[in-house]
Amino acid sequence: MKILGLFPHVDDNQQVCGGVIAQALAAGHSVKCVSTSNFHEPSMAPSMAALGVTDYEVWDFAWNELHAREDELRERVTALLKAYQPERVFTLWGHDTLADHVAFNRAALAGILVSEQRAVIYQGEIPSCTKGFVPNVYYAVSPIAYDLKMASLNGLTDFDDGPRQWWTSTCTAVMRARGLESGTQYAEAFVTYAPRALGVESL
């Protein structure tokens, strides 16, 4: 299976679906991660290495610039989907307090849908930014995958210690809460477009 993690910033893949990515790689699936913004680009390589991802890209959009280049972003997302042909796309939920996240969500979803690639879209949460998020699917995250996610957040070495400590503690709290909701120790939660009963999925 081909899985795409498509996000605006270098820290977003890890926060939203780092556990899913780690488990997908362990199960032998192909994973590609994309950050459309080059903000703190030097962090991408060590963070992806900690997670086990070797196929990743950082695009050339600047911080807080996505709203001004939505058409270009949409076209590049469409081209990416046609070239990579993922079966599942993990991205972020669009109701958000950060302007870059909102603009990204509009352009990225449009680009995915225009590509006509029959991928299931999973939209996940970013702690403190995401609003109005009610998941309809959960992925249980193993302790090993949890540790890899934490390592990838600590691998964001271009950021100060404060943000890294905040990410690890906050993501841990969110994963525990989602685990309680779904009957597991740790979980990552998503909204999908495909109608389905509430449940826990695996790769």
Instruction: Report pLDDT for 194.
Output: 60
Q: Can you list the positions of beta strands (E) in 38-87?
A: 56-61
pLDDT by residue (tens digit) across 20-36? 999 999 999 999 999 99
Residue 159 belongs to domain spanning: 2-201
- Beta-carbon count within 10 A of 29 CB: 15
First to last CA, the chain: 9
- Provide the number of structural domains found in the chain: 1
Residue 69 has pLDDT above 80, yes or no: yes
Instruction: Kindly indicate the confidence band of residue 161, based on its pLDDT and cuts at 50, 70 and 90.
Output: confident
Structure tokens at 57: 């890209």
pLDDT by residue (tens digit) across 83-102? 999 999 999 999 999 899 99
Residue 199 has pLDDT above 80, yes or no: no
* Number of alpha carbons in the 13 Å side-chain half-sphere of residue 56: 29
Residue 195 has pLDDT above 50, yes or no: no
Q: Residue 37: which CATH number?
A: 3.40.50.10320
Instruction: Kindly indicate the confidence band of residue 197, based on its pLDDT and cuts at 50, 70 and 90.
Output: very low
The answer to whether 151 and 53 have CB atoms below 8 angstroms apart is no
On whether the pTM is more than 0.85, the answer is: yes
